[in-house]
């Protein structure tokens, strides 16, 4: 019962922020940005595989959010609405440019060193870096529909219902895409292990 109350409070807060933004309150948008920018960047990074593209995509997404936030009516949570905007924009932008997917473990990219937790010892760090590199590379090879579903569920932590709302599909389709995506991800990692 408590979760329903929190959900309704969150939705009311979301609608209030949208209304304040519509009325010209700059602090309302700043709050929306603070609450959601990191999640949008992470989603863009996981879909594009490039930190620079992810930063550009994040800026573009929030430009769209800024333009359309006043029209947000609260049919879903603001978080879900922003994920939908971000996912649609990433799809559109990434479909136009189709260069070969770059792996997150590119040694020339500074983000590659940041994937592992630096607190364990050198051996554990090396193993964690290798595992992160393999997963990131395998994830980059997944078809976009599976990559989106797996990223939203396993890396972003969205519920099945939220993912269905973001993707504009049914929960059963989401479950199927996640299961198929995880299976393909496992096979991609195993394929790399054999090589």
Q: Say if residue 113 is exposed, middle or buried (CB neighbours under 10 Å; 0-12, 13-18, 19+).
A: exposed
Q: 96 and 175 in contact (C-beta within 8 Å)?
A: no
**In this predicted structure, what is the pLDDT of residue 98?**
53
Q: Say if residue 55 is exposed, middle or buried (CB neighbours under 10 Å; 0-12, 13-18, 19+).
A: middle
Rounded Cα–Cα distance for residues 9 and 11 (Å): 5
**In this predicted structure, what is the pLDDT of residue 122?**
66
φ, ψ (nearest 5 deg) of residue 119: -70, -30
pLDDT tens digit sequence for 105-128: 555 555 544 544 445 666 666 666
Rounded Cα–Cα distance for residues 129 and 4 (Å): 40
pLDDT tens digit sequence for 63-85: 999 999 888 887 888 999 999 99
Q: Read out DSSP for 15-56?
A: HHHHHHHHTT-HHHHHHHHHHHHHHHHHHHHHHH--HHHHHH
Q: Which residues of the chain have pLDDT under 50?
A: 1-6, 99, 101, 112-113, 115-118
């Amino acid at each position: 019962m408590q979760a329903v109350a929190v959900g309704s409070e969150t939705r009311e807060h979301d609608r209030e922020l949208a209304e304040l933004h519509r009325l010209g309150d700059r602090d309302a948008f700043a709050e929306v940005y603070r609450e959601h920018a990191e999640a949008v960047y992470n989603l863009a990074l996981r879909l594009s595989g490039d930190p620079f593209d992810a930063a550009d995509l994040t800026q573009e997404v929030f430009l769209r959010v800024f333009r359309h936030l006043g029209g947000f009516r609260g049919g879903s949570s603001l978080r879900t609405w922003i994920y939908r905007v971000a996912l649609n924009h990433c799809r559109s932008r990434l479909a136009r440019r189709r260069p070969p997917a770059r792996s997150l473990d590119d040694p020339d990219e500074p983000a590659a060193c940041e994937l592992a937790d630096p607190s364990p010892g050198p051996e554990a760090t090396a193993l964690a870096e290798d595992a992160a590199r393999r997963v990131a590379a395998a994830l980059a090879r997944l078809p976009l529909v599976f990559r989106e579903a797996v990223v939203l569920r396993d890396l972003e932590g969205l519920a099945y219902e939220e993912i269905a709302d973001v993707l504009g599909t049914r929960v059963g389709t989401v479950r199927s895409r996640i299961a198929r995506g995880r299976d393909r991800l496992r096979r991609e990692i195993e394929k790399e292990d054999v090589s």
